[in-house]
Structure 1
Amino acid sequence: MTQFTLIPACSAAIPTDPFIGQHLIDGAWVGSADGAVFERHSPAHGDLVSRSARGGKDDTARAIAAARHAFDAGDWASSQGAARARILLKTADLIDENRERIAVLETLESGKPIAQARAEIEGAADLWRYAAALARTLHGDSHNSLGPDMLGMVLKEPVGVVSLITPWNFPFLIISQKLPFALAAGCTAVVKPSEMTPSTTVILGQLLQQAGLPDGVVNIVLGYGDPVGALMTGDERVDMVSFTGSTAVGKQIVRTAAGTLKKVSLELGGKNPQVIFPDADLEATADAIVFGVYFNAGECCNSGSRIIVHEDVATALTEMVVEMSRKVPFGDPLDPRTKVGAIISPEHQAKIAAYVGDAETAGAQVVLGGEPLAIDGLAGQFYAPTILTGVTPDMAIATEEVFGPVLSVLTFRTMDEAISLANSASYGLSAGIWSRDVHTCLEFSRKVRAGTVWTNTWMDGFAEMPFGGVKQSGQGRELGRYGIEEFLEVKSVQMRIGDTRPRWVA
C-alpha cells in the first residue's frame, strides 16, 4: 500500500484536436511571418494540447508598432474612465461565461488541478471588476495653498506602451493582475505569455475583442523569451515592462531595459518562511503549512517552502505535517478530487530532485517523499510530497527557491534567532507568523523583510491588497490601488492666475 494518496487517470476526455494559437496584432489574428510554430504537450497526460505561432523579430516589432500607434494616435489614453470601465466589466462577464473552457485548457497546459484552475479563473474575473472601479475613481490632486495668484495641479497620466511578460504557473491569473490595471490607467500593451502556457492568454484576447476593445490597444505575441521577450524589453517604443518570473530573468530584464531607461516592475521569486511559536494552534498551523507548500505543486512564488519552528514543538508539528501530507490527493489534474497535479516539465522535475539530493548529501533527513511519483494511467511527471528535517541555514535548500512540493524544516529558540533565519534568504516576497500572542505577531511583522506578512494564516489574497516583494523578490506592486499607480506617470501643472508674475527684468 502506498504511503501517499494518489488519484489515477480519470475518464475526463482530452480534446482530440489541439488548440490553435495565433498572435493578436492590431486587431488581427495572424500566424508568424516565417510560419514557425511550437507545440505544448500536457505535463500530466503527455497528449498534444496546443499548437501556437512562434513569434520572431518581425512579429514582435509589428505588435510594438501597433501598441505605439494606438497610444499616440488612438483615443484609448484620453478616453473616459467610465468607458474603459465598461470594457473591463464586459471582459469580466465574458471570463465568467467561459470559465470552464479556460480552466480545462489551463489544466491541460500547466498540469494544475481543474478545481484550482476554476477558482483562479473566478478570481481573475474579480480582478477585472476591481480594476474597472479604479478606472472610474482615478484622479490627481490640486493645490490651492500656493498663494492667491497660483494654482497647482498634479495630473496622473498613463505611462504609455507597456510590455507584459507572464509565467507558466498562473498564466491567466497573473495576466489579470497586470493587464486590467494597465488598461484602466489608459495604457496600451504588448503581452507575451510563457511558451509553456500560451493558450488561455489567446482566449483572453478573443474576449477583449468581444468586449469592444479598440484594435491595437492589446497585442499578443506568442513565443520564447529570445527573441520576443528581449525585443519587448529593449525596444525604445516601449515605455514600461512588467514581468513576473524568475529572479535571474528579472535581472536580465533590468539590464536590457536600462538602455532606454524605461520603467520596470518585477514580481520575482521567493523563499517564504513561516515562523511557528510554541503557543500556536498546531493543528491549524499544520494544515496551512501543507496547503502552502503543496498548492500548485509548490510551483508558486508564494510557496511556504520553509518553516522555522520553535524547538519545543518542532517534533510534534513535523509529525502532524507528515501525516497530513500523506492525505493530500496527488494525481490526474482533470479529476476534481485532485489537489496537486503534475510538474511543469521533465527538466523542472530533475531540478527539484537535485535540490533534495544535495540537501541529503549536506546532512538533511528526508522524512517523507523525496522521489518522483508514478500515477496509474498517466504518462507525465509528478513529484512526491517531500519533507526534510535537520536543515541548516547554510544549505541551498534553506535559502534558494526549489519551486516544487518540498518543505524545509529549521528550528529556533528566540525571536531574534527566528527573525535572523527568516531574513537570511536573498528573497523578501512573503512571510508568516503563527502565535496566539498579538505582540509576538506584531513584532515579527515589523521586523521581517517581506512584501506581505500573514499572521495565523497563509496565502489569503484580496484584490484590494497590494502584492510584491523586497530584496531580490522584485520591485513595484500589483493589485490594490497601488496596482494602477504602477502604470501612471505624475505631471505637475503650475498655473499663475492673472498678470501677477513679478518681472525679473525691470
Structure 2
Amino acid sequence: MSDMTMTAAVEAALPKAPFEGRHLIDGIWRGSDNGESFDRTSPSHGILVSRSARAGRAETEAAIGAARKAFDDGRWSRISGKERATLLLKVADLIEANVERMALLETLESGKPISQARGEISGAADLWRYAASLARTMHGDSHNSLGEDMLAMVLKEPIGVVSIITPWNFPFWILSQKLPFALAAGCTCVIKPSEMTPSTTVILGELLLQAGLPVGVVNIVLGFGQPVGALMAEHPDVDMVSFTGSTAVGKAIAAAASVTLKKVALELGGKNPQVVFPDADLESAADAITFGVYFNAGECCNSGSRIIVHEDIADTLVEKVVALSKKVAFGDPLNPETQVGAIISQAHQEKIAGYVKDALAAGARVKLGGAPVSHPGLPGRFFAPTVVTGVTADMAIAREEVFGPVLSVLTFRTLEEAIALTNDAAYGLSAGVWSENVHTCLAFARRAEAGTVWTNTWMDGFPEVAFGGYKQSGQGRENGHYGLEEFLEIKSVVMRVGRTRSNWVRA
C-alpha cells in the first residue's frame, strides 16, 4: 500500500434496484421468449447492477429481420442526408442530458472511474454531431472526360444491414464510433453490447426512440457470443459486421462472416510502444507514459503497455515513471478523485498477474507493484500500478496484450533497433515517439507499422481523425470520413448520351 495512492470509498447513492435491460426489436421493448436473463455484479462494489434479458436465436433472428425490412423499404436508407443529420443531432443533445444516469451505470458495471465515464459519455455526443455533418456532405464523383457521348457517375450507397458488436471496456464510446456513422450512411443496425456492460446501450435505445428514429432502424439484442454474436456474424440477411474486441474473437467473426462474404470491420488488440529518444522532454514523456498505461486500468486497446527507451536514459526515465505511478489515484470508482478503478473480473485479474509472474520467471524485474491489491473500504478487485524492467522482446509480457495496469520496459541503442522492436509484434494499432528532433519523429512515423503514430503526446483523438490498426490489430477504420465510408458501397453508373453507339451485330 505504501507504493501506491489509494482513494477512499465514498458515500454514494447506489441504485436501490438493478437496472432492467430488455431487447429493442422493431421498436418494441421485449424480454426473451424463454424468460431467461443474466446478471451483472459490480467489480468494484459487489452489488447487483443490472439484470438483462438473455437473447437466444429467436430474438436475434427477429432483430435481424426487423433491420432488414427497415432497410429494404427505405424508411431510413432513402431519406435525405438532412433528415438523417437532424435526428443524429437530436440524439447528441439527449446524450448530454443523460450523462449522469449513464455514467453511474457504466462505472458500476465496468469498474472505471466516474469522472472518466462522464467524460466518455459526454464526449461521445461530439461523435454523433460529427457524423451528422458527414450525413449532409456525403457525395460521389462524376467523370465528364470520357468523350462527348459518355458520362459516368460513382454513387455511394449504404451497405445495408450492419451487425455491431461492442466490448466491455468502453461500451458507450466505442458504440458511438460505429452507430452514428452507420446511421449517417443510411444503414440499419443490430447491436449486441458486451454481456458485462449492456446497460448504457439499452439507454441509448431509449434516446433513439425519443429522438424519433423510425422503428426497426436500430435493434438491440442482449446476450452472449453464442448464439447471439455468432448468428449476427453469419446470418445471410446481414451485409456487414463491425466488431471491437479481442483478436481471437475477431478472427472467429471473420471466419463466420466469410460464409456469405459479407464485409467485416475489425478493431482488435494492440501492444502499443512509446519510443523515447535521449533528446526527449523526459518530464512530459514520463507523464504521458504513466497516463498511457494506467488509463482505464490498462484495459484499453490503445494502452501504452510497453516503452522502448534509449539505454542512456532508461534508468532516469524509469525512476520518473515509478515516482509518478506511486501518485496515481487508484480506488473507489465513485470517488471523483479516482484515476484508476477496479479490474473487470476475477479471471481477468488472474490473467494480468500471470503475465507478471511469467516475466519474473523469464528474468525480468518488478520495479513497482506486480500483484492484486485489496481496498480497505470495498470488496472489489484492484491491481497495483506495475512497472516491469529487464524485459526482452521474446517475453510474452512484451508481445501479448496484458490489458491491465502493467508497463514493460525495453531498451534500444539506435533508431534502426527502435523501429525493429516497434514492428516486432503481431499488432499494429498505435505507437508513439518522443524526441525534440522533428527528423527523428518523422523517420519513425513513416516506418512504424501502426494505424496511429503520436509524436510527443499520447492518445489524443478527434472525431475527424481516422482510427484503426495494421496487421492483427484489425481492418477498416473508424472516425473521420473514412469511418463513414466503411458503411458505404460504391456503384458506378455509365451512361451513353444520345444514340451514338455502333451496332455490334451487323445487318
1:422-475 CA-to-partner distances (Å, cap 9, x unmatched) read 011100000000000000000000011000000000000000000000100000
Deviation of residue 173 (structure 1)?
0.2
- Name the CA distance, whole Å, in 2 between partners of 1:494 and 1:295: 51
Q: Match for residue 212 of structure 2?
A: 212
Deviation of residue 8 (structure 1)?
2.3
Deviation of residue 12 (structure 1)?
1.1
Report the residue type matching 1:168 in the other structure.
W
Q: Match for residue 96 of structure 1?
A: 96
Deviation of residue 287 (structure 1)?
0.1
- Name the CA distance, whole Å, in 1 between partners of 2:33 and 2:215: 20
- Name the CA distance, whole Å, in 1 between partners of 2:434 and 2:386: 22
Q: Match for residue 316 of structure 1?
A: 316
The secondary structure found in structure 1 opposite 2:178 is helix
Deviation of residue 502 (structure 1)?
1.3
- Name the CA distance, whole Å, in 2 between partners of 1:482 and 1:400: 28
1:329 aligns to 2:329 (yes or no): yes
- Name the CA distance, whole Å, in 2 between partners of 1:320 and 1:2: 17
Q: What aligned pairs does 1:231-380 form with structure 2 within 5 A after superposition?
A: 231-380=231-380
Report the residue type matching 1:256 in the other structure.
A
- Name the CA distance, whole Å, in 1 between partners of 2:14 and 2:441: 47
The secondary structure found in structure 1 opposite 2:458 is coil
Q: Match for residue 143 of structure 1?
A: 143
1:225-256 CA-to-partner distances (Å, cap 9, x unmatched) read 00000000000000000000000000000110
Q: Match for residue 416 of structure 1?
A: 416
The secondary structure found in structure 1 opposite 2:375 is coil
Report the residue type matching 1:399 in the other structure.
R
1:380-424 CA-to-partner distances (Å, cap 9, x unmatched) read 100000000000011000010000000000000000000000011
Deviation of residue 32 (structure 1)?
0.6
1:405 aligns to 2:405 (yes or no): yes
- Name the CA distance, whole Å, in 1 between partners of 2:359 and 2:227: 36
Deviation of residue 10 (structure 1)?
0.7
Deviation of residue 376 (structure 1)?
1.5
Unaligned runs of 5+ in 2: none
Deviation of residue 16 (structure 1)?
1.4
- Name the CA distance, whole Å, in 2 between partners of 1:292 and 1:394: 22
Report the residue type matching 2:246 in the other structure.
S
Q: Match for residue 484 of structure 1?
A: 484
1:326-345 CA-to-partner distances (Å, cap 9, x unmatched) read 00000000000000000000
1:350-377 CA-to-partner distances (Å, cap 9, x unmatched) read 0000000000000000010001111111
Deviation of residue 499 (structure 1)?
0.7
1:191 aligns to 2:191 (yes or no): yes
- Name the CA distance, whole Å, in 1 between partners of 2:305 and 2:212: 42
Deviation of residue 74 (structure 1)?
3.5
Moved more, 336-345 or 1-10: 1-10
The secondary structure found in structure 2 opposite 1:359 is helix
Q: Match for residue 48 of structure 1?
A: 48
- Name the CA distance, whole Å, in 2 between partners of 1:373 and 1:353: 11
- Name the CA distance, whole Å, in 1 between partners of 2:394 and 2:297: 25
- Name the CA distance, whole Å, in 1 between partners of 2:420 and 2:430: 15
- Name the CA distance, whole Å, in 2 between partners of 1:227 and 1:475: 24
The secondary structure found in structure 2 opposite 1:408 is strand
Q: Percent identity?
A: 72
Number of residue pairs matched? 506
The secondary structure found in structure 1 opposite 2:213 is coil
Report the residue type matching 1:301 in the other structure.
C
Q: Match for residue 385 of structure 2?
A: 385
- Name the CA distance, whole Å, in 2 between partners of 1:39 and 1:237: 30
Is the contact made by 1:275 and 1:434 (CA closer than 8 Å) also made in structure 2?
Answer: yes
Is the contact made by 1:465 and 1:480 (CA closer than 8 Å) also made in structure 2?
Answer: yes
Report the residue type matching 2:192 in the other structure.
K
Q: Match for residue 455 of structure 2?
A: 455
Is the contact made by 1:82 and 1:135 (CA closer than 8 Å) also made in structure 2?
Answer: yes
Is the contact made by 1:432 and 1:455 (CA closer than 8 Å) also made in structure 2?
Answer: yes
- Name the CA distance, whole Å, in 2 between partners of 1:389 and 1:2: 20
The secondary structure found in structure 1 opposite 2:177 is helix
Unaligned runs of 5+ in 1: none
The secondary structure found in structure 2 opposite 1:330 is strand
- Name the CA distance, whole Å, in 1 between partners of 2:22 and 2:75: 26
Report the residue type matching 2:256 in the other structure.
T
- Name the CA distance, whole Å, in 2 between partners of 1:502 and 1:441: 59
Is the contact made by 1:355 and 1:402 (CA closer than 8 Å) also made in structure 2?
Answer: yes
The secondary structure found in structure 2 opposite 1:431 is strand
- Name the CA distance, whole Å, in 1 between partners of 2:323 and 2:91: 43
Is the contact made by 1:8 and 1:378 (CA closer than 8 Å) also made in structure 2?
Answer: no
TM-score by length of 1: 1.00
Is the contact made by 1:372 and 1:384 (CA closer than 8 Å) also made in structure 2?
Answer: yes
- Name the CA distance, whole Å, in 2 between partners of 1:127 and 1:3: 38
The secondary structure found in structure 2 opposite 1:380 is strand
TM-score by length of 2: 0.99
1:221 aligns to 2:241 (yes or no): no
Q: What aligned pairs does 1:421-500 form with structure 2 within 5 A after superposition?
A: 421-500=421-500
The secondary structure found in structure 1 opposite 2:180 is helix
The secondary structure found in structure 2 opposite 1:379 is strand
- Name the CA distance, whole Å, in 1 between partners of 2:115 and 2:376: 20
- Name the CA distance, whole Å, in 2 between partners of 1:226 and 1:148: 57
